[in-house]
Amino acid sequence: VNISFVETRPGDPAIVVIPVGGETLEQSQLATLGEQDRDQTMRAAASARFELEAGTILQLFPGQADTAKAIVLLGIGKDGNDADLEKAGGALSARFLASGDEALVINVTGLAVTGEQVAHLLLGAVLRAWRCDEFRTRWKPRQKPSLNAIIVVGAASDARKAWTDISCVADGVAFARELVTLPANVLYPESFVERCRKLADLGVEITVLDDHQMADLGMGALLGVAQGSRRPARLLVMRWKGADADPVAFVGKGVTFDTGGISIKPAAGMEDMKWDMGGAAAVAGAMMALAGRKAKAHVIGVCGLVENMPDGNAQRPGDVVTSMSGQTIEVINTDAEGRLVLCDAITWVQKTHNVKTIVDLATLTGAIIVTLGHEQAGLFANDDALAEQLMAAGAASRDKLWRLPLGDAYDKLIDSAIADMKNSCGAPASSITAAHFIKRHVADDVRWAHLDIAGTVWTSTPGATWNKGATGFGVRLLDRFAADALEQR
């Protein structure tokens, strides 16, 4: 969807959208309509009980005097907050995406709508319009998306600037959704890397370690997972240096497909495991957003990319591997592979860059879905201030987080009889013990947070700003965290 800003309403017939908010509909909000259309709209709104809630839509047809194809009142809620504006924009897209209409004219002339509010309305519209159609070849014309342009008329002068920044976040979310949506025969470690190469055009420095380089560095945990696959592993490093500061690391779990390995998963639902790289996708999307809007932050995004498969060379339950940290791990369950990938990625970034803050994102445990469902992601942290910053960013971006505990008694559960630790210790508190496994690879003086996003990466029900499928969870969160916690210093 192409977005543009103009001063006056174009003459050609189009759907004209008027965003309306507040307690009740006022004549003055419809000042851009002729008198007759205004009266009729007021009456129609009353008889339809149109109450201006965010995302409600009232569609009418104007009299001869107006060239509009239709007039659409779009409710934006009582106080015009960001969430309501995004919800309204999303509702607009959902309604008109495949309606046969190609353009929407959003007329805010004379309305008390700020540039920032316009940008959030557009963000909602663009995010809700995202879809992946590249594998469809037999579609009836009327099923195809028709909407390709949104023209904003009469917005505040700062709307364009606000949209320029926010559209970079929309691009990052779209990129993450694309990576999450692609099937594992298309998206595997090497092709994940190739798709991220375009970030170089935005000024992101890209470094890739192949499996041989990782072997030389001693990344036995990550490579132990990869050895059951024909697809070689990669470590993708994306660096955005928008400020002269010590870097902060975002680390993502990028298991491009998780069969479970020899501890193989049941067949039902296994196709979902194409999105076991949602953490890596969030990191890539966030790097795109930050570089796109030239964020004044120094961030290193690291994606540990492997495929977890059960072939003749796969690792076995009971195998002992040595991670890059030098610590040994008894692989009790080859399906607890995410932590094996993350621990080496996290060790690498601490040894290679002077990072004092790490945020990792991973579709790590099924248990987090039992705990928090699909509403919010689990947050674990060794530092209260960092946890607070992430919680605040989550609330502001609507990529919501809920903090769960760490503790010595939980940590003890991953002690192994034969090695320094084991990668699985059964069901009780398994999201927490997974977090402790990662924590054992983080230096004491490094602030660290782990986000278990297994429940929030993919959805079977449409939401305010997404259709069913990939949500892009984490991109807006990390962008907001960077904006509020890193850029404001």
Residues designated catalytic: 265, 339
Strand partners, 379: 403, 451
Give me the least distance between CB of 308 and Mn ion, in Å please. Answer: 6
The Cα-based distances of 310 to 233, 260, 389, 423 in angstroms read 15, 8, 40, 17
CB of 309 to Zn ion, least distance (A): 12
- Residue 424 interface partner, choices Mn ion, Zn ion, ligand BES, none, CB cut-off 5-8 Å depending on type: ligand BES
Laid out side by side, the sheet with 234-241 consists of 205-209, 234-241, 298-308, 248-258, 357-362, 447-452, 377-381, 401-403
**Residue 58 binds which of Mn ion, Zn ion, ligand BES, none (CB < 5-8 A, kind-dependent):** none
Strands 357-362 and 234-241: unpaired
Of residues 95 and 253, the one with the C-beta less far from ligand BES? 253
Residue nearer to Mn ion on the CB measure, 76 or 225: 225
Indicate the residue among 82 and 258 with the shorter CB distance to Zn ion.
258
Interatomic CA distance for residues 168 and 164, integer angstroms: 7
The rounded distance, in Å, linking the Cα atoms of 212 and 233 is: 9
Smallest gap from residue 273 Cβ to Mn ion (A): 7
Instruction: Report the 10 Å Cβ neighbour count for 211.
Output: 19
Of 42, 57, 61, 65, nearest in space to 92 by CA: 57
Interacting residue ranges for ligand BES, rule: CB under 6 A: 258, 276, 333, 335-338, 363, 365-367, 424, 430, 454
Residue 335 CB, nearest approach to ligand BES (Å): 4
For residue 420, the minimal CB distance to ligand BES (Å) is 18
Shortest reach from residue 477's CB to ligand BES, in Å: 18
Give whole-number Cα distances, 207 to 213, 302, 482, in Å.
12, 10, 22
Q: Closest CB to Mn ion among 261 and 394? A: 261
- Toward Mn ion, which CB reaches closer, 210 or 272? 272
Binding-site ranges for Zn ion (CB under 5 A): 255, 258, 276, 338
CB of 337 to Mn ion, least distance (A): 5
Chain residues binding Mn ion by CB under 5 A are: 258, 335, 337
Choose the contact partner of 365 out of ligand BES, Mn ion, Zn ion, none; CB within 5 to 8 A by kind: ligand BES
| Residue closest to 126 by CA, chosen among 164, 156, 92 | 92
For ligand BES, which is the closer residue by CB, 172 or 338?
Answer: 338
Query: Among ligand BES, Zn ion, Mn ion, none, what does residue 382 contact (CB within 5–8 Å per kind)?
Result: none
The one of Mn ion, ligand BES, Zn ion, none whose footprint includes residue 52, by CB under 5 to 8 A per kind, is none
Q: How far apart are CA 303 and CA 277, in angstroms?
A: 9
Neighbouring residues of 273: CB distance < 8 A, sequence distance ≥ 6: 184, 255, 257, 258, 259, 265
Residue 5's DSSP bridge partners are: 152
Which partner from the list ligand BES, Mn ion, Zn ion, none does 174 bind, CB cut-off 5 to 8 Å by kind?
none
Phi first, then psi, for residue 242 (nearest 5°) are: -95, 0
Nearest to ligand BES of 22, 366 (CB atom): 366
Cα–Cα dist 270/362, whole Å: 17
Q: What's the min distance (Å) between Cβ of 280 and ligand BES?
A: 12
Within 13 Å of residue 389, how many CA atoms lie on the same side as its CB? 23
Which residue, 335 or 479, is less far from Mn ion as judged by CB?
335
Select the residue whose beta carbon is closest to Mn ion and give its number: 335
